[in-house]
Amino acid sequence: MKKIVKLSLILVVLSLFSINLFSISVSASECGDFFKENEFMTNSDLSYEIISDNGTNYTRIYLNVKNDVTLNSGEIAYFTYTPEADFYFVVETIGDYDTKLRVENTATGTIINDDSCGNLNAKVEFKGLQGKPVYISTKFFSSSTSGSFTLQLRKQRFSMFGYDDGHGHSTISDLKIPYNAFKSIFESIKYENGSSWEAFANDDRDLARINSEIMFFTGHGYKNDEDNKGFGVSFHTGGITTNDRFLNMKKTKVAMWAACYSANSTNPGNISIAEFSVRHGAQSAVGFSEAVEFSSSKTFTNRFFTKLASGATVKEAAKYGAEGLLWPWDNGKKYVIFGNEEMRVTDSSPTISSFSMRNSNLSIIDNLGDDYEYISLDDTKGRYYKKINGYLTNSFIDVAYENGCIVEIEDYRKDIFSTLNINAKHLNYILPNQKTVGDEIYILEEETLRNIVYYSIDNVMVPVLIIIGNYKKGNQIIEEANCVNLATGLIIDYSTINEI
């Protein structure tokens, strides 16, 4: 239901101040209270104040309100807004005319834009500073044009979707660290246990919740069989697939699809849900090409969003996310970026090294013995794993390269007091053929990995058997890692041994 409130009085006030005439319509949408979001402002909430600065009269505007601006040829409309805190905003015009925007007094000075929305509309994204008025002016590109268009100012938004599937798997906790990384600079909202319909429903911006500057989905991905996977994701109720032609993510700068096969295009449509979101407007999207274990996905996204909030590009943030996974075979390292991998959502901050220890003695690498194995992480970084009895351990050294030379060392080596022996009888551990989760039964589809590692626990190297398998129920796929202490036979939680 829409409420349109015409504020005719504003025309009178504006004419008294002898400024360019324009009308303002306030659009109010009555949303359900499922997510407890604010509705659109109504006329009782609004008081359009005229502010004069250096001979120019500005109209104070409100966040999310859609203002109908009517201009005669050559006229300019002036607005102002004062941020209550340092925050990222976006202002844009909406309509059929070629328009221009000028935003002054931002954290980076004056920003001018024309046609940045893929059409004739103008859009400016900026950081506003607490208590510092921002001045916005807009006009038609052609001085001979007259007509009407809409102007909206809003905070940039980070929408996160997680849920408890009711069968022993929950991704709600995956939202905590990304939320904390952005809550002070983006309008950050956690949607828990929502349906796909609610993700498509409009919020207080009069935009679909999923159509936010940053979108983060974490949950199950779809797979029917080996020839049909990656075509969608499952919400608490319902799902989104590549058949959803009404998907609109034109406001989205970064979409993170943390789900199995979300970047896999092995399906009749030859497109993954991550790539599909880029085709439908998102400027960049990240997904996983294979089934990924829940804890691995969480480690990746925690680091990804922490890095992204610091000013890193999507490429840099994804690389940082993958580096946090300890074992080289972890499917969380098999991510794909679609669209603009150089996209940034915040201003760059001074680089803070993630290194636990800097070591200027680069010759340390030359002194490593044959019990270390080198594995490349990417073209700029590699990892030297210490090996025991031929198996990798969590005692390692990371090295960073520049122009082919080692420039930094990150030392994660452990002090080892003793090493436990392998009890051969525990080597025969077999994945169960099915898993009962809640009242649902998941069937083992395939065992995808069986490896032995040594993991340091209280300075004692413990041999661990890691077995990873894919379990399937309907078109939902989950990757489960089973870990066995080969000295005692006790089960170990994979999430406690897969992160650096």
Q: What is the CA radius of gyration of the chain?
A: 27
Task: Name the pLDDT band for 351 (thresholds 50, 70, 90).
Answer: very low
Give strand pairing partners of 286: 256, 337
* The pLDDT of residue 30: 27
CA distances from 449 to 141, 163, 379, 433, 445 (A): 60, 28, 25, 15, 13
Confidence of residue 348 (pLDDT cuts 50, 70, 90): low
- In angstroms, the CA 246 to CA 257 distance is 18
Tell which residue, 178, 286, 295, 209, has the closest CA to residue 35: 209
Q: Which token pair is 49? A: 């104040």
pLDDT of residue 352: 37
Rounded mean pLDDT of 312-328? 97
Nearest residue to 345 (alpha-carbon basis) of 89, 113, 117, 136: 89
Residue 118 pLDDT: 64
Spatial distance between the Cα atoms of 221 and 476, rounded to a whole number of angstroms: 6
Q: What's the pLDDT at 87?
A: 97
Place of tokens 């203002």: 67
pLDDT for position 382:
93
Q: Which amino acid is at 471?
A: Y
pLDDT at residue 463 is higher than 60 = yes
Q: Tell me what pLDDT residue 116 has.
A: 64
Beta bridge partners of 102: 112, 137
The answer for residues whose C-beta is within 8 angstroms of residue 356's C-beta and 6 or more apart is: 410, 411, 412
For position 166, what pLDDT does the model report?
Answer: 77
Q: For residue 25, what pLDDT is reported? A: 29
Q: What is the pLDDT of residue 185?
A: 97
What band does 44 get if pLDDT is binned at 50, 70 and 90? very low
- Note the pLDDT of residue 13: 34
Query: Among 215, 402, 384, 461, which residue's Cα sits nearest to residue 314?
Result: 215
pLDDT (tens digit, 9 = 90+) per residue, 218-257? 999 999 999 999 999 999 999 999 998 889 999 999 999 9
What pLDDT score does 23 carry? 33
Side by side, the strands of the sheet bearing 66-71 are 66-71, 147-155, 87-94, 123-128
pLDDT at 400 over 60: yes
Helices 294-309, 314-323: crossing angle, 10 deg rounding:
140
Q: How many CB atoms lie within 10 A of CB 120?
A: 16
Indicate whether 16 pLDDT > 80: no
CA 105, distance to chain mean position in Å, is: 28
DSSP SS3 for 426: helix
* Three-state secondary structure call for residue 99: strand
**Tokens of residue 448, six digits:** 């995808």
User: Is 28 a residue whose pLDDT tops 50?
Assistant: no
Amino acid at 241: T
Domains defined along the chain, listed by start: 2-155 (2.60.120.380), 157-339 (3.40.50.1460), 419-496 (no CATH)
Token readout for 417 is 């007091």
pLDDT band for 264, please (50, 70, 90 cuts): very high
Query: For position 42, what pLDDT does the model report?
Result: 35
Residue 318: alpha-carbon gap to chain centroid: 10
Range of lowest pLDDT (347-361, 362-376, 445-459)? 347-361
In this prediction, residue 55 has a pLDDT band, given cuts at 50, 70 and 90, of confident
* Residues in CB range of 331: below 8 A, 6 or more apart: 288, 290, 291, 292, 293, 296, 479
Give the pLDDT confidence score for residue 368 in this predicted structure.
Answer: 87
Average pLDDT in the 334-357 region? Answer: 73
> Lowest mean pLDDT: which of 35-39, 47-51, 488-492?
35-39
Q: What is the DSSP letter of 258?
A: E
Written as six digits, the tokens of 439 are: 């009242």
Q: How confident is the model at residue 361 (pLDDT cuts 50, 70, 90)?
A: low
Q: Residue 170: which region, alpha, beta or left (left: phi > 0; alpha: psi -120 to 50)?
A: beta
Which of the residue ranges 68-82, 296-310, 363-377 would you say has the lowest mean pLDDT? 363-377
Euclidean distance between CA atoms 432 and 443, whole angstroms: 9
Sheet containing 77-81: order of strands = 50-53, 56-60, 77-81, 134-140, 99-106, 109-114
Average pLDDT in the 286-303 region? 97
The residues facing 42 across adjacent strands are none
The per-residue pLDDT of the chain, averaged, comes to 86
Residues 93, 122 contacting (CB under 8 angstroms): yes
Q: Among 145, 99, 105, 149, which residue's Cα sits nearest to residue 126?
A: 105
**Nearby residues of 404 by Cβ (< 8 Å), 6 or more positions away:** none
Backbone angles phi, psi at 122, to 5 degrees: -115, 150
Lowest-confidence pick of 66-80, 167-181, 277-291, 437-451:
437-451
Element (H, E) at 491: strand 491-492
Please report which confidence band the pLDDT of residue 362 belongs to, taking 50, 70 and 90 as the band edges.
Answer: low
pLDDT reading at 126 higher than 80: yes
The DSSP code for 143 is: T
* Residues 147-156: tens digit of each pLDDT: 999 999 999 9
DSSP state of 237: B
What average pLDDT does the segment 446-470 reach? 96
What pLDDT sits at residue 48?
62
